[in-house]
Structure 1
Amino acid sequence: MKITKLQPTVVAVPYRSEEVWAFGRRRGQISVLLEVSTDEGLVGIAEAAAYPSVDIVLAVLDSIEPLVLGADPFEIERLIRRIDLVGTWHHVRATNPAIAAVEMACWDIVGKACGQPLVNLFGGRFRDEVECFYYVARADPDEVAAEGRRAAEHGFRTCYLKVGAGDPRTDLDRLAALRDGAGEHIGIRVDANEAWAPGTAVQLIKEMQRYGLELVEQPTSGRNLAELAYVRSRVDTPILANESSWTRYDQLSVIRAGAADVLSVDNQMDGGLLNLKRSAGLCEAAGLPVVKHSLGELGVALAAAVHVIASTPNFRYANQAYGANLADDVTLGYGGGIESYSDGCVAVPTEPGIGVQLDADRVERYAELYRAEGAAFAFHDDQPRGEQAPALPKR
């Protein structure tokens, strides 16, 4: 079997409300859907987040296409090593969701050819469903409280809140509102996205601890593990590494530095599903749990990762997903909207391969939306041009 064609389609799917983080906001999810065709008629599907932009993802696909066409989709290790070394990504010391999408599509082809869901190819089911957190897009306290109530009503066990506002009192007000709305029995995870200096981080985390935090995600720079280790040594709340743990090599550095209690892992940032499994194994050897990070995803990418998570023991916390934020999806019944979840969990697909199907009508609808309004879906900030330059840390 040989790969004969790569066909990307860019879609833009709205969120229920804007996603807001420490340095900007966006109104919806832009993803690059990828179909990989073979000479035997099997087609694998995949999804790449538009990170850092659609243009870059498409350019990466163009650049690696000569290395992919003619390859055997069963020879995934060989293909990805060829992309890394011949395509020079090893020397860049980073990767891109485009590469992970090619790998994901190959796994979909392999599963379809074997008549097996991916979970069976990655070790078999360790769990029958995968827990995700409820993503509370940062907003006014009244809106945050309402989102907390919505999460509790739908059975979610963890809420995730972006912090890192210019005024720490804003974060504390939002956190208090979330606890009030969600109730006492839901875990709360906060994510500062590197916004704090170490001293600020220690002070604010200690103030926030009264709200019963489950984890604090990346309070300080992802480029300075000594800072992260310093904060970890001075607070009681467990620290989750994210921007400092994009790849397996970064995760090894975090482990050596003793900088985190939990590590975030991401197949789109580290070259594919097989590396997601490797990341989890590396952390398990260090006695650490992991959670799946997301750059934003629709049902294809969610389902693909769910297979790996379901087969891997040390995903012990709720994972990041965007389904509760999405107003719709491009698949037939997977990942888009809160109805896809049962008590905060998503089921492991049982059909061969990734196990989801694209809805052609919705793919075309959201491809047209991207063509018409794609620029409006990109990250942007609230400041008039030239009035305030963003900086790290914010405080």
Structure 2
Amino acid sequence: MKITEINAWQVDLPLKEGRYNWSGGNSIEVFDSTVVEIKTDSGLSGYAECCPLGSAYLPSFALGVRAGLQELAPYLIGADPLNLGEINRKMDLALRGHPYAKAPIDIACWDLLGKATGQPVYNLLGGAMQEDVALYRAISQESPDEMAAKIAGYSAEGYTKFQLKVGGDANDDIERIHATREILKPSDLLVADANTGWTRHEAARVVGAVSDLDVYIEQPCMTYEESVSIRRRTTLPFVLDEVIDGSASLVRGIAEDAMDVINLKISKVGGLTRAKLMRDLCVSSGIPMTIEDTWGGDITTAAIAHLARSTPERFCFSATDFNSYGTVTIASGAPQRVNGKMTASDESGLGIVPDFDVLGDAVLSVS
């Protein structure tokens, strides 16, 4: 099998809630997502999606996805998409860094591998380890009362895990954490995610002020070193996200006891090939994961579901159903939330079919 053509579409994904707010005064109303198609001489096509969380969250941005694809695509025409190792080697030789731009190529090749072998991607990633994957709901940064009210609403939809967007004023964040924990059931999980937004002294104040609560602290400061400093000052369970950007940082974090949980974002690390490596390192080291991505729609949600379903339940802290946050459906066959859980399709590949009427005209085509 050989790659004959690579196409890409740009699609806007508006939010049902209207706006998503996180640390540093950052917010977004419409996500800019890129859908990728890899065509082959066998007649099979593979699909993927990449959607950065704006331009101020990670070293990634929507236009960079499409610019990176334009750079990479000519080097991949004629390559065997089922040889995942060679595909990733070619991409790394053609473009240094920019893992988020490489991720949709890698994921689309996994989709093709599944279709070519008649297997769902989760089977190729290690087999079904759980049937239904528990989801978390991200709660956009607002006033303590507004955030508590949103959690109450999402609890009624079956969610039992909540990621609270903090990382603002420390006094406000202390109130946010107290107000939301108060309305949750004892069995519900609450994660206070600062998204690198606190300075060290602010983070120290917050973890001290909520030390008597059942809450996880996530990515309090900008750097690994600052965050680990806060880790040493609290007995609360600790999550790292932005600073765990590949296998090297993961190995360091494991060796230095830097975290109890990580957020494993597929596009942040370069696709399913590298995400699987990190997932397996976490499992072997006893580190649970939230399996997710930076953002996206139906196709991103499908990729998340396959990686999560092939992860032992004990080590799958939670996952994300991004397609439930938006107002636009871009593919059929994607996972759908049922009582706070989702599952991956049993169809071959990712199990999705893009809606080309919604996607419109391709913005990139290389053959």
When normalised by structure 1's length, the TM-score is: 0.84
Tell me how far apart the structure 2 counterparts of residues 40 and 63 of structure 1 sit (CA, whole Å): 24
**Does 1:46 pair with 2:42?**
no
Whether the 8 Å contact between 1:57 and 1:96 is mirrored in structure 2 is no
Which SS does the other structure have where 2:255 is aligned? helix
Tell me how far apart the structure 1 counterparts of residues 125 and 73 of structure 2 sit (CA, whole Å): 26
Counterpart AA for 1:246 = D
2:342 to 325, 346, 352: 346
**Does 1:19 pair with 2:15?**
no
**Equivalent residue for 1:251?**
250
State the number of aligned residues. Answer: 354
Counterpart AA for 1:155 = G
Tell me how far apart the structure 1 counterparts of residues 284 and 182 of structure 2 sit (CA, whole Å): 38
Q: More deviation in 22-31 or 314-323?
A: 314-323
Which SS does the other structure have where 2:13 is aligned? strand
**Equivalent residue for 2:275?**
276
Shift of 1:333: 5.6
Which SS does the other structure have where 2:262 is aligned? strand
Whether the 8 Å contact between 2:321 and 2:337 is mirrored in structure 1 is no
Shift of 1:101: 0.4
Within 5 Å, give how 1:56-67 maps onto structure 2. 56-67=64-75
Counterpart AA for 1:221 = M
**Equivalent residue for 2:222?**
221
Whether the 8 Å contact between 1:132 and 1:319 is mirrored in structure 2 is yes
1:129 to 132, 135, 140: 132
**Does 1:169 pair with 2:168?**
no
Which SS does the other structure have where 1:205 is aligned? helix
Can you list the C-alpha shifts for 1:335-387, whole angstroms capped at 9, x where unaligned? Answer: 5xxxx2122111111111000122233333xx89x9xxxxxxxxxxxxxxxxx
**Equivalent residue for 2:330?**
330
Within 5 Å, give how 1:20-39 maps onto structure 2. 20-23=21-24, 24-39=26-41
**Does 1:304 pair with 2:303?**
yes
**Equivalent residue for 1:87?**
94
Shift of 1:286: 2.5
Whether the 8 Å contact between 1:163 and 1:171 is mirrored in structure 2 is yes
Counterpart AA for 1:87 = A
Tell me how far apart the structure 2 counterparts of residues 359 and 201 of structure 1 sit (CA, whole Å): 44
Q: More deviation in 133-142 or 272-281?
A: 133-142
Which SS does the other structure have where 1:234 is aligned? coil
Counterpart AA for 2:102 = I
Tell me how far apart the structure 2 counterparts of residues 247 and 325 of structure 1 sit (CA, whole Å): 27
Whether the 8 Å contact between 1:14 and 1:327 is mirrored in structure 2 is yes
Q: 1:293 to 1:108 in 2, by over 3 A?
A: closer
Whether the 8 Å contact between 2:192 and 2:218 is mirrored in structure 1 is yes
**Does 1:69 pair with 2:71?**
no
Tell me how far apart the structure 2 counterparts of residues 110 and 220 of structure 1 sit (CA, whole Å): 39
Identity of aligned residues (%): 27
Tell me how far apart the structure 2 counterparts of residues 333 and 271 of structure 1 sit (CA, whole Å): 24
2:194 to 186, 192, 195: 192
